[in-house]
A and B are shown apart, each in its own frame.
Chain A
Amino acid sequence: MAAHLSYGRVNLNILREAARKELREFLDKCAGSKAIVWDEYLTGPFGLIAQYSLLKEHEVEKMFTLKSGRLPSADVKNIIFFVRPRLELMDIIAENVFRCVYVSCYQTPHCKLVKECYLENDQTSLYHTAKGLMTLQALYGTIPQIYGKGDCARHVANMMLRMKREFAGTQNQILPVFDTLLLLDRNVDLLTPLATQLTYEGLIDEIYGINNGYVKLPPEKFAQKKQGEASKDLPTEPKKLQLNSAEELYAEIRDKNFNAVGAALSKKAKIISAAFEERHNAKTVGEIKQFVSQLPHMQAARSSLANHTSIAELIKDITTSEAFFDNLTVEQEFMTGVDTDKVNTYIEDCIAQKDPLIKILRLVCMQSVCNNGLKQKVLDYYKREILQTYGYEHILTLNNLEKGGLLKPQTSSRNNYPTIRKTLKLWMEDANEQNPNDISYVYSGYAPLSIRLTQVLARPGWRSIEEVLKMLPGPHFEERQQLPSGLHKKRQQGENRTTLVFFLGGVTYAEIAALRFLSQMEDSGMEYIIATTKLVNGTTWIKSLMDRPESQTP
């Protein structure tokens, strides 16, 4: 089912199997027939670990969604509630539980880390992260080196070290898979999630949104038209596609800059066409048999090609539009430090046209971040225009954005961003989109700051960028964890080291692509595994910082 997780240096199936085992054991604790009441939010993530068939094996007969009001009736011995640890959900459970039944909180560390940590300062999320990392170490071995940058990173590292001390008696005898753990706060790099991603997977997420490995697409392009049949009515339900590396073609193109996808698809088309043409060469019974046995694989390949050609066409319509081009141009102007201290005409025009508020917020936040805060006059002007055009109630959102450091007035301290940009080479003119040689290809010129930091850590090391690190928020640190004697890895000739990079507060698909690129680079000597509290793009990220997003006009 999830064979694709076994490839690669770190066998992620171990983690998946561990989760499945835990789930099974948990279910078996209640003997007899069961009904599960689900927090809807969890059905997606759980689907990544198990199917309904597994639950049925453990006598789960009925499943319901957690809602206010009474549960439907079910003739079962046990009722289990699977919920996120959220207070308002507890109330709903309490509503239904006026007799004490078996209630348990299966905690999943999936939460709005940025809003909670930077606005509401709830450290529970960090605690779960630390616990999650301890579980990871239980499965994959103690990680000898921990690096980090940011306040949350420091907290998590402290918690991990303390948790380790508390279990001092037991020694982890597993041969370590990871050499290094790198903890990075999202707010060390606020710029990257604001920028429009330009990889294939990144663009799919920006435009359509990828949830738990699925994307919902407009159905028109996916309607099957059979020859000889009258064309059916077009489906109105969006087309749902699964996206993961088990699909060969997707694994090939997901991390490419979108400009390179067309060539890849065209090449694949030729290969598949040629394969189908082979049927003319099959003359003997043996050869025909051989060809026929290949058919299912070829059909799957064709189907995959069809889907991604359709998706690429949909995306192309957007990326070739004037609006997309103009927006990208302004983003790049800000990233290269052009006119970040003035009111931007394009943004003004967009407000005047009443473009979606999130688009405006992304741009003004980007300008603020690249300028280390906006001049009071400029900030006031933008705020006025936004409130007058979209409504006064947005003072709440603007307040949140200021608290999060995304849209703030200039303080007396100077703007360090140009220095950071130059030292870390964040802007690479002439980034090669087709055959990239640097991570900046994921944003066609801009190298994500977070990934640059990761890259420099491996070589030549953070000591070479001490000054720049001090300009970024939060402490940076290094910790070492003792390994039991005899477990120190003897590195083979040419063997790569493995780093686990943990993003606290969300990561984008483009950053993931950039890390994969680093892993694949010839002389890197390093392989990266990525973990995060959440996958984000500029839109979902800003939305999570907005106050009561459902009440905002789009």
Chain B
Amino acid sequence: VTFRCDVQLKESRQAVNSIQRLVEEDDDEDDVEKVSWSGEPVGSISWSVKETAASNQRTDREPAFPKIPTDTPSLSKSQSGYSLSSLFKGKTKGGNFQSFTDTLSDSSIRLYAPELRKPKSEYKDYVSDWSPEETIQRLQQGKTAPLEKFRSLQDKLLLLDFAVSAHDGNVITAVLIYLKRTLSKEVLFRELESRQTALRHFIHYLTETKDQRLLLELLRALGRTEDVALLQYKEHLSIADENKRRDFLKSCLSLPFSAEDSAHVQDHYTLLERQIIIEATDRQAERGGKVEIFQKFPRRASILNMPLITTLYYCCFYHYSEPEGTYSSPLNIRQAFKISEKQYFVTALAARAKLKAWLDVDALFTSRNWLGFTRKKSPLSFQRVVDVLQKNSAPTQVLQDYVGLVEDPDMRISLAQKHKCHDIVINTYRDMKDRQQLLGYRGKVGRGSAEERKIDELLNNQQIRWKN
């Protein structure tokens, strides 16, 4: 599949531009939708919400609770699913909504919450007859039905089971809130264990309300140890201070992760510990003003909480030639975290190229064996190497060395031409015995240059058996 450049798009563009010149005076087209500066279409809901916010700021009022006039409004019956009173009435066990029960007795409230307008006596008779099943049905239909009258465990479980079979999430949530408040944890967890749907729902509820503590207790009770571990580990994201975070990660090491994740968390802790040390040392060195590299290339950001490879890059940049025993030595990092040869190579190459340390780059490719130095095959394709070098403005002489190592002749020529490595082009055409191409290339080199002379020499060389 290819996506070709579109001549047709150009035609369309031309047509559009030429027509515009004809109709320039009338851009207030009625069919065009008016859009405000914020990009919202004028008259839309999003626009009017923003307008209200803006106008409120302009009038500069004190933030205050909206004032509702106290004359009796003719509010019709509420369609809300659960009567607030039904949820909040009765003695709560360490209830969340204590404050509401107080305000419920305030008589002025009755004017605004229709449920509460009924006289107490009527209310009592009205509700006392419903079974758990009927209660759930009423809740589903958006009618009121208090849960508090169900005191026995059996009734409570019936409520839950009916709610679950109704599949209505809001009803399930309402029942779960009630059970959470009125059952001990042991009983609740035990009962949920055998009710998968309700359990999943409860976990979702605890997650949404960010009730971390209870959620962890529940997962532990269920034996979902890996989930417990991950959930606790997740907390590290909300710890800003690096030392506290490091200590927290250390405490996570004993958590029941899977073997794999255990190793990763271990690495995470080790990395952060190391970063803290390096950061402290480097910040001091930078401030001291005596270490050259920090003066020439001031650090743009702290190394704390950066990923491993970023850290490696940083150390290849600022600490490349350190002895292997230091925390910031790249080789030390490579060994401690078992970084692959390829990853290490790519990172070191990028860092040294950025610093234009061409000798270091060269050294990456060479290895000493018992015969002396030999060229090692690069774990990275030479095209990639050339790419990285060129991005860091490597001079042609340097690029040339690596372009020359590209195995595929066509690729080599294309790269060489791109980077004006004339010698390589010439040599490759010579090797390919391609007279035509060599002749064609003559026009691309400088007149009277050494390259031109070289081409002429080759072309005149009778011993070469050209293929064309």
> Roughly how many angstroms separate A265 CA and B9 CA in the complex, as a whole number?
7
> Roughly how many angstroms separate A240 CA and B40 CA in the complex, as a whole number?
8
Closest to B38 in A: A237
Interface string of B100-141 (1 = CB under 8 A from A): 100110101100110010000000000000000000000000
Interface string of A343-385 (1 = CB under 8 A from B): 0000011001010000000000000000000000000100101
Q: Which of B69-106 contact A (CB under 8 A)?
A: 69, 73-76, 78-81, 84, 97, 99-100, 103-104, 106
Residues on the B chain within 8 Å of A91, using CB: 209
A63, A98, A130, A302: the one contacting B16 at CB < 8 Å is A302
B15, B80, B197: the one contacting A273 at CB < 8 Å is B15
Q: Which of B172-199 contact A (CB under 8 A)?
A: 172-173, 197
Among listed A41-49, A283-291, A466-474, interface-contacting one? A41-49
Among listed A30-38, A142-150, A178-186, A519-527, interface-contacting one? A30-38
Q: Does B201 contact A (CB under 8 A)?
A: yes
Among listed B43-51, B144-152, B414-422, B446-454, interface-contacting one? B43-51
A63, A85, A312: the one contacting B9 at CB < 8 Å is A312
Q: Does B304 contact A (CB under 8 A)?
A: no
> Roughly how many angstroms separate A123 CA and B230 CA in the complex, as a whole number?
24
- The answer to whether A237 and B8 touch across the interface, beta carbons within 8 angstroms, is no
Main secondary structure of the interface of A (DSSP, over half): helix
Q: Does A435 contact B (CB under 8 A)?
A: no
- The answer to whether B264 and A86 touch across the interface, beta carbons within 8 angstroms, is no
Closest to B177 in A: A87
Q: Does A138 contact B (CB under 8 A)?
A: no
Closest to B40 in A: A240
Residues on the B chain within 8 Å of A352, using CB: 342-343, 346
Report if A309-B16 is in contact (Cβ < 8 Å); known contacts: A121-B204, A396-B234: yes
- The answer to whether B3 and A86 touch across the interface, beta carbons within 8 angstroms, is no
- The answer to whether B37 and A237 touch across the interface, beta carbons within 8 angstroms, is yes
Closest to B1 in A: A444
Report if A85-B200 is in contact (Cβ < 8 Å); known contacts: A52-B44, A395-B264: no
- The answer to whether A272 and B45 touch across the interface, beta carbons within 8 angstroms, is no
Among listed B57-65, B359-367, B456-464, interface-contacting one? B57-65
- The answer to whether A43 and B167 touch across the interface, beta carbons within 8 angstroms, is no
- The answer to whether B6 and A388 touch across the interface, beta carbons within 8 angstroms, is no
- The answer to whether A100 and B112 touch across the interface, beta carbons within 8 angstroms, is yes
Report if A101-B7 is in contact (Cβ < 8 Å); known contacts: A47-B45, A302-B20: no
Q: Which of B14-53 contact A (CB under 8 A)?
A: 14-16, 18-24, 26-27, 29-33, 35, 37-41, 43-49, 52-53
Nearest-Cβ distance from residue B102 to partner chain A, whole angstroms: 10
- The answer to whether B46 and A30 touch across the interface, beta carbons within 8 angstroms, is no
> Roughly how many angstroms separate A51 CA and B47 CA in the complex, as a whole number?
10
Q: Does A325 contact B (CB under 8 A)?
A: yes
Q: Does B236 contact A (CB under 8 A)?
A: yes
Counted as pairs of residues, one from A and one from B, with CB atoms less than 8 Å apart, the total is 303
Q: Does B358 contact A (CB under 8 A)?
A: no
Q: Does A547 contact B (CB under 8 A)?
A: yes
Q: Does B315 contact A (CB under 8 A)?
A: no
Q: Does B341 contact A (CB under 8 A)?
A: no
Report if A273-B19 is in contact (Cβ < 8 Å); known contacts: A73-B66, A328-B1: yes
B40, B168, B236: the one contacting A393 at CB < 8 Å is B236
> Roughly how many angstroms separate A273 CA and B342 CA in the complex, as a whole number?
58
Report if A313-B49 is in contact (Cβ < 8 Å); known contacts: A98-B99, A98-B103, A227-B21: no
- The answer to whether B22 and A276 touch across the interface, beta carbons within 8 angstroms, is yes
Closest to B308 in A: A388
> Roughly how many angstroms separate A487 CA and B66 CA in the complex, as a whole number?
53
Residues on the A chain within 8 Å of B84, using CB: 100, 103
> Roughly how many angstroms separate A125 CA and B346 CA in the complex, as a whole number?
47
Q: Does B397 contact A (CB under 8 A)?
A: no
Q: Does B296 contact A (CB under 8 A)?
A: no
> Roughly how many angstroms separate A124 CA and B166 CA in the complex, as a whole number?
10
Residues on the B chain within 8 Å of A395, using CB: 230, 233, 261, 264-265
- The answer to whether B45 and A240 touch across the interface, beta carbons within 8 angstroms, is no
A86, A300, A320, A547: the one contacting B29 at CB < 8 Å is A300
Residues on the B chain within 8 Å of A258, using CB: 3
Among listed A12-20, A76-84, A493-501, interface-contacting one? A76-84
> Roughly how many angstroms separate A74 CA and B56 CA in the complex, as a whole number?
9
Report if A265-B8 is in contact (Cβ < 8 Å); known contacts: A51-B44, A123-B201: yes
Q: Does B407 contact A (CB under 8 A)?
A: no
Report if A72-B61 is in contact (Cβ < 8 Å); known contacts: A63-B45, A127-B168: yes
Q: Does B237 contact A (CB under 8 A)?
A: yes
A96, A216, A270, A390: the one contacting B65 at CB < 8 Å is A96
Q: Does B207 contact A (CB under 8 A)?
A: yes
- The answer to whether A29 and B53 touch across the interface, beta carbons within 8 angstroms, is no
- The answer to whether A75 and B67 touch across the interface, beta carbons within 8 angstroms, is yes
Q: Does A57 contact B (CB under 8 A)?
A: no
Q: Does A437 contact B (CB under 8 A)?
A: no
- The answer to whether A263 and B24 touch across the interface, beta carbons within 8 angstroms, is no
Nearest-Cβ distance from residue B392 to partner chain A, whole angstroms: 14
Closest to B267 in A: A392
Closest to B11 in A: A266
Q: Does A102 contact B (CB under 8 A)?
A: yes
Q: Does B220 contact A (CB under 8 A)?
A: no
- The answer to whether A390 and B66 touch across the interface, beta carbons within 8 angstroms, is no
Q: Does B4 contact A (CB under 8 A)?
A: yes
- The answer to whether B12 and A268 touch across the interface, beta carbons within 8 angstroms, is yes
> Roughly how many angstroms separate A295 CA and B84 CA in the complex, as a whole number?
60
Closest to B167 in A: A127
Number of contact residues on B: which range applies? 35 or more
Closest to A345 in B: B381
Residues on the B chain within 8 Å of A122, using CB: 169, 200-201, 204
Residues on the A chain within 8 Å of B201, using CB: 121-124
Q: Does B157 contact A (CB under 8 A)?
A: no
> Roughly how many angstroms separate A125 CA and B204 CA in the complex, as a whole number?
13
Q: Does A137 contact B (CB under 8 A)?
A: no
Residues on the A chain within 8 Å of B5, using CB: 316, 320
- The answer to whether B45 and A547 touch across the interface, beta carbons within 8 angstroms, is no
- The answer to whether B45 and A50 touch across the interface, beta carbons within 8 angstroms, is yes
Residues on the B chain within 8 Å of A126, using CB: 167
Q: Which of A535-550 contact B (CB under 8 A)?
A: 547-548
Report if A103-B75 is in contact (Cβ < 8 Å); known contacts: A77-B68, A216-B39, A262-B12: no
Q: Does A296 contact B (CB under 8 A)?
A: yes
Q: Does B271 contact A (CB under 8 A)?
A: yes
> Roughly how many angstroms separate A259 CA and B9 CA in the complex, as a whole number?
11
- The answer to whether A55 and B45 touch across the interface, beta carbons within 8 angstroms, is yes
- The answer to whether A44 and B23 touch across the interface, beta carbons within 8 angstroms, is no
> Roughly how many angstroms separate A396 CA and B258 CA in the complex, as a whole number?
13
Q: Does A551 contact B (CB under 8 A)?
A: yes
> Roughly how many angstroms separate A288 CA and B170 CA in the complex, as a whole number?
65
- The answer to whether A77 and B208 touch across the interface, beta carbons within 8 angstroms, is no
- Of B8, B62, B80, B233, which is in contact with the most chain A CB atoms at under 10 Å from its CB? B8
A residues apposed to B, CB below 8 Å: 26, 29-32, 35, 38, 40, 43-44, 46-47, 50-53, 55, 62-65, 69-79, 85-88, 91, 94, 96, 98-105, 116, 120-127, 130, 155, 159, 216, 224, 226-227, 237-240, 242, 258-259, 262-263, 265-266, 268-270, 272-273, 276, 295-296, 299-300, 302-303, 305-306, 309, 312-313, 316, 319-320, 324-325, 328, 332, 348-349, 352, 354, 380, 383, 385, 387-393, 395-396, 399, 444-445, 547-548, 551, 553
* Closest 3 A/B residue pairs (Cβ): A124-B169, A269-B15, A262-B8
Q: Could you jot down 21 A-B contacts, CB within 8 Å?
A: A31-B74, A31-B75, A47-B46, A63-B45, A70-B65, A73-B63, A78-B73, A94-B97, A100-B100, A103-B80, A120-B204, A122-B200, A227-B21, A265-B8, A272-B15, A309-B16, A332-B1, A352-B342, A389-B307, A391-B306, A553-B307
B residues apposed to A, CB below 8 Å: 1-9, 11-16, 18-24, 26-27, 29-33, 35, 37-41, 43-49, 52-53, 56, 61-69, 73-76, 78-81, 84, 97, 99-100, 103-104, 106, 108-109, 112-113, 116, 167-170, 172-173, 197, 200-201, 203-205, 207-210, 230, 233-234, 236-237, 260-261, 264-265, 267-268, 271, 305-309, 337, 339, 342-343, 346, 384
